[in-house]
Structure 1
Amino acid sequence: MTYKTVLQVLDANQYQTDLAAAAELCAAANAHLSVLLVKVAAPPRFGDHAGLSVAWLDIQAAEFEQLEKAVEAVRTTLKDMGLSFDVAGEYTEPARADDLVGERARYADVTLIGTNMDPSLRARAIEGALFYSARPVLLANQRQSATLLPKRILLAWNSSLESTRSAREALDMMKNAEGVNVVLVDPTASRWNGDEPGADVATYLARHGINVTVDRLPSAGRGVEEVLNQRAMDTGADLIVIGAYGHMRLRERIFGGVTNAMIEAPIVPVLMVR
């Protein structure tokens, strides 16, 4: 699909670098930038009850003030860039952050998650967007700027519902790309894959005018994410498109999984779809 509204989730404590990258992305794609600055409440400190109450109110007041200043600073910065934008701030308890992001993400085409965030907030923002918005998440990385106009795309394919949704979600981007590598790791012939794994999805994409190449790669003892990342580097991919959480979320958390590995250490920007 065409992305006309991008939600950028920012950590109110450290937002300048991610804001600049988001503004550049939206300017290139002629998209509206919707900024959500999140300030996570500090945990209460131990002490006598009366002293704790006064100190806690002072801490909250200081945190609210910091958030308000960050919102105004972002508005001022974006006004000078000539972008279509809106800015909002949310002060929240840690456990509520994923809900807030998910609710806001329902009114955007994609949620952009930067690299300069508190790790706990970043994890909650990603899960909130993936599980509570029915929208994709675009993960930036330190090495390469995220873009909505990639020239080369790697589509991770395993015939699952999640990979099917990811292919459909990224269809417009793949049409405009110079080339798309559909990558299957250790594929086997099956009811879902067919006798020639990857052939069916390649045919589907080709009918949309997409220049597609199918890569069937062995894992050779490596993790799937390692194979995908290496192939992305070998092909000069600007973006990896992948379905997220093909297994139960609890199982992914306990045993790891490709989704978590791609979230934690993306080699190139990643578009995740659930």
Structure 2
Amino acid sequence: MPFKTILTVTGTHRGDNDIKLATKLCEEVGAHLSVLAVALAAPPPIGDYAAPISDTWMEERRADLEQLEKRTAAVSHLLASSAISADITNAYAEIGWADEIIGRRARYADLTLIGPELLSDGTLKDKTIEGALFSSGKPMLLVPEGSKPTLQPRKVMIAWDSRVEASRAVREAIHMLTAADDVRLILVDPVEGESHQGAEPGADVATYLARHGAKVMVERLPSSGQSVAEVLKRHAADMSADLVVMGAYGHSRLRERLFGGVTKSILNDLSMPVFMAH
């Protein structure tokens, strides 16, 4: 399905580079840009010292809200000067619930874009990634500093392991995969068998993609003592991939988000645009 609405998140102390990047991607595919400006609220004071510092806490909240309104107005002015269709909303979110708030907003977009500026913002970055992956049902695109993102990639690498998350990522990216010139389906240490990756690992999904018109090639790689994440990153660099498509693995336990090993390694060391779905 083509991307018709792209969401990006900005903080109150961020620059405009992520929004400009999102604007270019929207221009590339004719999409609407939705911006969510977020300020994270500090938790209220508790304990013996709560009363004396409650006035300070309230003043901090008033300052946060004022800064959020200023940021919203500035982004609105920036969007008004662009040629694309766009809107902006804002949220003053308690840290513990920020991922849910962002995730609910992401449900009304086809893709959440996380650009270099947001990737450098520790807490807001984490909350945005968690919300986009676990609370929206939609994919996200992570764009590290120095990369050249595009929603019309010519060379795409798929990290495939036959799990449902990888299947979801492939389905969400299908229109990009069918338009690409070179799609590599990469399996690291694949295991044969019906309960694993089939009699011929990668063949079933390659056939599925070929029926959609994708120019796909299956490559089965040994890890040779390296981590799966390292093998994937090295191969993506070797083939000069414009985009990596992969499933994001993890689960929720109470309010804690836990990511699988490969997902965490990729998120912690991005070198090129990565398209993820959960």
Q: TM range, normalised to the smaller chain?
A: over 0.9
1:171 aligns to 2:171 (yes or no)? no
Q: Secondary structure at the match of 1:266?
A: coil
In the superposition, relative to structure 1, how do residues 202 and 98 fare at CA in structure 2: closer, same or farther (>3 Å)? same
1:193 aligns to 2:197 (yes or no)? yes
C-alpha separation in 1, matches of 2:221 and 2:248: 20
1:205 aligns to 2:206 (yes or no)? no
1:46-125 alignment runs, 5 A limit: 49-117=50-118, 118-125=121-128
Find runs of 4+ consecutive structure 1 residues off by over 3 angstroms: 42-51, 247-250, 252-256
In the superposition, relative to structure 1, how do residues 49 and 26 fare at CA in structure 2: closer, same or farther (>3 Å)? same
- Work out whether residues 40 and 94 of structure 1, in 8 Å CA contact, stay in contact via their aligned partners in 2: yes
Deviation of 1:52 (Å) = 1.6
Residue in structure 2 matching 1:218, options 202, 219, 222: 222
C-alpha separation in 1, matches of 2:261 and 2:45: 36
In the superposition, relative to structure 1, how do residues 81 and 253 fare at CA in structure 2: closer, same or farther (>3 Å)? closer
In the superposition, relative to structure 1, how do residues 55 and 24 fare at CA in structure 2: closer, same or farther (>3 Å)? same
Deviation of 1:194 (Å) = 2.3
C-alpha separation in 2, matches of 1:43 and 1:253: 19
Deviation of 1:256 (Å) = 5.2
Deviation of 1:48 (Å) = 5.2
TM-score (norm. length: structure 1): 0.93
C-alpha separation in 2, matches of 1:17 and 1:209: 35
Q: Secondary structure at the match of 2:9?
A: strand
Structure 2 residue runs without a partner (length 5+): none
Deviation of 1:253 (Å) = 6.6
Q: Which amino acid aligns with 2:145?
A: Q
Name the counterpart of 2:26: 26
Deviation of 1:197 (Å) = 1.2
C-alpha separation in 2, matches of 1:119 and 1:259: 17
Deviation of 1:71 (Å) = 0.5
Residue in structure 1 matching 2:271, options 226, 247, 267: 267
Larger mean CA deviation between 37-46 and 147-156 belongs to: 37-46
1:126-145 alignment runs, 5 A limit: 126-145=129-148
* Superimposed CA distance per residue, residues 212-259 of structure 1 (whole angstroms, 9 cap, x where no aligned partner): 1111111111111111111111111111110111x5456x97785111
- Work out whether residues 139 and 146 of structure 1, in 8 Å CA contact, stay in contact via their aligned partners in 2: no
Q: Secondary structure at the match of 2:36?
A: strand
Q: Matched residues, percent identical?
A: 46
Residue in structure 2 matching 1:236, options 235, 240, 246: 240
Name the counterpart of 2:39: 39
C-alpha separation in 2, matches of 1:132 and 1:256: 17
Deviation of 1:190 (Å) = 1.3
Larger mean CA deviation between 83-92 and 47-56 belongs to: 47-56
Q: Secondary structure at the match of 2:117?
A: coil
Structure 1 residue runs without a partner (length 5+): none
- Work out whether residues 239 and 270 of structure 1, in 8 Å CA contact, stay in contact via their aligned partners in 2: yes
Q: Which amino acid aligns with 2:76?
A: R
* Superimposed CA distance per residue, residues 195-216 of structure 1 (whole angstroms, 9 cap, x where no aligned partner): 2211121111111111111111
In the superposition, relative to structure 1, how do residues 76 and 166 fare at CA in structure 2: closer, same or farther (>3 Å)? same
C-alpha separation in 1, matches of 2:17 and 2:42: 23
Report how many aligned residue pairs link the two structures: 272
In the superposition, relative to structure 1, how do residues 264 and 186 fare at CA in structure 2: closer, same or farther (>3 Å)? same
Deviation of 1:35 (Å) = 0.2
Deviation of 1:140 (Å) = 1.1
Deviation of 1:31 (Å) = 0.6
TM-score (norm. length: structure 2): 0.92
- Work out whether residues 175 and 209 of structure 1, in 8 Å CA contact, stay in contact via their aligned partners in 2: yes
- Work out whether residues 10 and 114 of structure 1, in 8 Å CA contact, stay in contact via their aligned partners in 2: no
